[in-house]
A and B are shown apart, each in its own frame.
Chain A
């Protein structure tokens, strides 16, 4: 049985990550697996794949969660328990894993709509071929639901830790964002 996100949130609220002085990497990884999967495939469609994600991006996100620059009811209290070195250990671990294959499908017209959005937002100037590099996250092969949620969260000013994305996403209509999500999820991971 898979737990609903709200239930997961309640569990993690009740079982926070170990305090900094009690940090044991294996224990923390077990905690992460609850949502991000034992094999790298997350338990929910709008949770991100973090196996094989860029080290510095993961580290930065943990720090942003901790500082509530990126606010999330599950991740913020967990990340708040990690000091910088512990966040780096976790980021190093996940960056060293193999990105999992997931199934994603394009709908008719998605590619054209997505490319139009990419041109408008000049996305490739930072994201290149979508494979990620250091502080730029890998988007290729990411979960559709997570990509969709993330871009909408920027557009709707829910996610605030990369403020320039807000202006960019506000230029894109929701249909373009949906097509872009499906498109990115189907880009080959290199």
Chain B
């Protein structure tokens, strides 16, 4: 009871002091297992929901800012494991646990899904997808979690399907084939649900696909609209500089000659969408970032800017019609693409006025700050990782350039604290060489057009970086032993949580980066953490399953933490 009151006081303090981005708390308190289905109102107001964790990135704005503060800077030292659940699959885990009224939904590699009692970790149901014989995916058999709506749970699969499950039983209600896996399409991202639509993109930028974001009917699985991330005219404006104004050393005349000879390469130009869109219900827009062109390193086969690869794109929520875009790197030949999910929040524009903005963290190591109205770039941050010899073109022998092809910031979502006006990113430093080798489209096989190779003799590391998105300045930065991949969570308790490949799961003071707590998870903690509150008790949860891409130690644990009595 005392703890419940404490939580209530912290909530009250948070919302009273909540400044410009004060969150709206949902009205109903969470009692475990009341089986209240997930309403659109709940989804829309998730940013202020101090009980549930309803979206992959916390809310439609994707802030990953959890508004409860029972666990805070003063008591996080008392955080202890509440329970550990071991899944059936010992392999890379990238799931964001979703929590609805004390029921947690998590997924594993190879598309297992579980419902758990979020208080105890007790299994309620287990769904194992009947995988088709053909899967084609990069980079690991991953899944990043479910979406919830009504009484349904939605998951994308490695064999490029979307499945809907009964949230109470795990029974499959319907499935729909999104695209053809033999041609390189697969699903590792978590879907998003808005009203009667399930939104999902596709993997496949390493296999010569033509990317998309699609909307499906939540009740039937029927397709409602498709936005092709690669337009039939993908040429663009022949940009010679990247979004930060640096010359990319394109040979425009050679590209124009190639275009005249081979035509627009749009059919196999890649442009996967790896992560969830940010949803603006006010303007009825969705914002997402589009990945690399295919083949990754060989630009000779794909003349032009390769629209809309390596771009922030906005489309109409109801129709999928194009609204605006900004391309970070035209004609990318380094795979330094856009994968970390965008965030909607209030930012200062060039005149110092508050405007609706979009944040994205690039593999380049910059945080890009956009105006949501037209996708235009307001500013970009200081580089969060070393940049050397940008933009050196790949060569047949291999050319060194930093960052390496994994970033900077990989698919890992950022989190923000709107009170500090800081965004938190986790970065990799992995020196690589870029090698180009031109080969024709190999029909669904890996098609990189060369290779990016880690330089074994050079040190690798990572960092956690806080960026002031109103100025682009780095507010604080903490170096980590290994390159960072997974994700981060900020809370109203003044904390950020993130994990490392060596198994360490840590809490930092979100204002200054001071490490306040750590736990050894036993395998790579390379998944985005979530938080939730059940019966007055706040928890933080993370999956520790390692990472295939960086070969971090695999495991199968879902670990929930709460304050010791």
Contact = CB atoms under 8 A, between A and B. Distances in A.
A125 B439 CA distance: 21
Contact of A133 (B135, B444, B451): B135
Interface string B432-470: 010101010010111111111111100000000000000
Contacts of A56: 133-135
A128 B437 contact: no
Contacts, number: 84
A72 interface: no
Contacts of A107: none
B453 A121 contact: yes
Contacts of A170: 435
Given A120-B454, A126-B138, A162-B446, A171 B548 contact: no
A22 to B, nearest CB: 27
A158 to B, nearest CB: 15
B1 to A, nearest CB: 48
B446 A126 contact: yes
Interface residues of A, number: 26
Interface string A142-185: 00000000000000000001111011101100000000000000
A64 to B, nearest CB: 9
B453 A162 contact: no
Given A128-B91, A163-B437, A167-B435, A135 B136 contact: yes
Chain B facing A: main interface SS: loop
A99 interface: no
B551 A124 contact: yes
9 contacts: A120-B454, A122-B454, A128-B141, A129-B91, A134-B135, A134-B136, A163-B437, A164-B446, A164-B447
Interface string B69-105: 0000000000000000000000110000000000000
Interface of A: 55-56, 60, 116, 118-122, 124-126, 128-129, 133-135, 161-164, 166-168, 170-171
Interface string B522-562: 00000000000000000000000000111100100000000
A164 B140 contact: no
Contacts of B135: 56, 133-135
B450 A167 contact: yes
Nearest to B452: A122
A124 B548 contact: yes
B386 interface: no
Contacts of A134: 133-136
Contacts of B551: 118-119, 124
